[in-house]
A and B are shown apart, each in its own frame.
Chain A
Amino acid sequence: MSGGHVVRLRVNGVDHEAEVEPRLLLVDFLRVQLGLTGTHVGCEHGVCGACTVILNGDSVRSCLCLAVEADGGAVETVEGLGRVDDLDPLQEAFREHHALQCGFCTPGMLMTGIDLLRKQPLASDGEIRAGLSGNLCRCTGYQHIVRAIRASVEARDGD
């Protein structure tokens, strides 16, 4: 898809430049143009959270953001966390606590979790649950996800 608008984006520390149609969603830019298919499309109306990425330091829905709107910005996606043989601590906590089943919501959950862990005290499970409430998971009943985040909070706070 072309259309004359050039988008320059730093994704997981790597600079990209592409010409796109204005209507191209950021999530499609990441998945199709850049081949970063770890970010998933679940609802395209901002409810499920599967497409959550971090844009300029804040978690956002990449289905509710045009690629042209992100021009000049820095995006973090799940591919920028750990690798298969070297998981980052939150990914490791998710594995340890069985916080994923089908894995489809997982990248969005992780990126929301990263944003929460960077910014919020998360003093109670209630705060964690409220923080995660923009990310739907249909498999886990959330309990193990909450546990994984709780463990990450404890690691962060040195408990």
Chain B
Amino acid sequence: MKPPPFAYLAAGSLDEAISALAAGDGEARLLAGGQSLMPMLNFRLLQPGLLISLNRIPGLGGITENGGGLRIGALTRHAELERSPLVARHFPVLGAAMEHVAHLAIRNRGTIGGSLCHADPAAELPMLMCLLDAGITAQGPAGERTLAAAEFFLGALTTALAEDEIVTAIELPALAEGCGWGFEEMARRSGDFALAGAAAIISLTGDRVSEARLAVMGAHPTPLRVAAAEALLRDQTIDEDTVRAAAEAAAAAVEPDNDLHASADYRRHLIGVLTARVLRAALRRAQGETP
């Protein structure tokens, strides 16, 4: 389990990385935290001609306030998201979810950009980006563009990114004041990829839901915003019946596969269970309580 030979470039600037990627003609791979790429190299599942390291490019990391939201550099590590006071203040769901991502040493190294580009359907960050309506900014030879998270994930391990583009930053627009959140996942062991997961944001105006967002993961080729469930909640007063109806809508929306760790039916069942839980938690937080 030793990696195959490859050439290596520690890019000093984004431009250098972009040109090298273009020159690599499909044989080059980008290396950020490496926490998904390195195991694949060690198993020799990939044989890139060139590895372009992004880790020495100045300014590619860091979390800054941007309007009421945040701009997160692509090279920001999971551990930084977990510890960041800015993330805790603006997007507590993001910080809280990080403890479910693998383990300490992986979070110390793994980056948000890497996780989004790897696009594992059971990974937390892609789902959270969908939940938070993130804009994913990428640069390529043709310039910069920003993709909505909902359009970014095309399938398992597949994104809308062009072969010559590099994700540089994530823009998270501000959430409504006083909104509540919920996050739940079910994994076999602590830190394993989730069998299924869900996250929700709820804003209330009085008793009524002014905004409801629900995203699920692990039971579909991509992370999924469940529009049907959100529609059931919007403008409603949430009670246990609405929660159940939304959970059923979420379970109906996913197209899970059977695999080694869980059957499709069980994953679908979990989506329902976890959806109900995150909705209850988000509602309680929106009501100013601690779930």
Contact = CB atoms under 8 A, between A and B. Distances in A.
A–B contact with Cβ pairs below 8 Å: the answer is yes
Interface of A: 5, 21-23, 25, 28, 44-46, 49, 52, 58-61, 63-66, 68-69, 71, 112, 115-116, 129-131, 133-135
Contacts of B190: 129-130, 133
| Chain A, interface SS category | mixed
Contact of B42 (A60, A63, A68, A135): A63
B16 to A, nearest CB: 16
Contacts of B189: 133
Contacts, number: 94
B106 A134 contact: yes
A114 to B, nearest CB: 11
Interface in B241-261: none
A49 B189 CA distance: 15
Interface in B33-54: 34-35, 38-39, 41-43, 51, 53
B79 A65 contact: no
Contact of B55 (A46, A59, A69, A130): A69
Interface residues of B, number: 32
Interface in B9-68: 10, 31, 34-35, 38-39, 41-43, 51, 53, 55
B6 A133 contact: no
A131 to B, nearest CB: 6
Contacts of A46: 35, 38-39, 106
B108 A134 contact: no
Contacts of B5: 21-23
B85 interface: no
A38 to B, nearest CB: 17
